[in-house]
Amino acid sequence: LARHAPPLPADGLYHLARDPEARAAHIAGNLPPPPEPRGCPDAPRLTAERKIVDARTLPEALEWLTPAERIRVAADARLLELLAALPDAA
């Protein structure tokens, strides 16, 4: 069965950013995040958002994101859509 499956993408976030159907399916399967406790912001989510906003291209943003930040982006529909809006080249 595994032999007949399509190969996995080299970069999952790149794939989600560029494939609207895969992104929609992924977002639909995500549970809402739990509320952040007062005074304890989710630092990886905050830094991921800033890096995405600062990036000029999708490859640049992906290069900057740490593994923890990538997890937060994949779990957050808004951040994933921000990432998807970045162009491939400047």
21: enclosing H helix or E strand: helix 20-29
Distances (CA, A) of 46 to 6, 69, 77, 88: 34, 9, 14, 23
What is the Cα gyration radius of the chain? Answer: 14
Query: How high is the pLDDT of residue 15?
Result: 96
Q: 58 by DSSP, 3-state: which?
A: helix
Query: How high is the pLDDT of residue 82?
Result: 98
E-strand stretches of the chain: none
Q: Is the pLDDT reported for residue 2 higher than 90?
A: no
Q: What is the pLDDT of residues 3-50, one digit of tens each?
A: 888 888 899 999 999 999 999 999 999 998 888 899 999 999 999 999
Query: How high is the pLDDT of residue 23?
Result: 97
Predicted TM-score of the model (pTM): 0.88
Query: How high is the pLDDT of residue 63?
Result: 98
Q: 54 by DSSP, 3-state: which?
A: helix
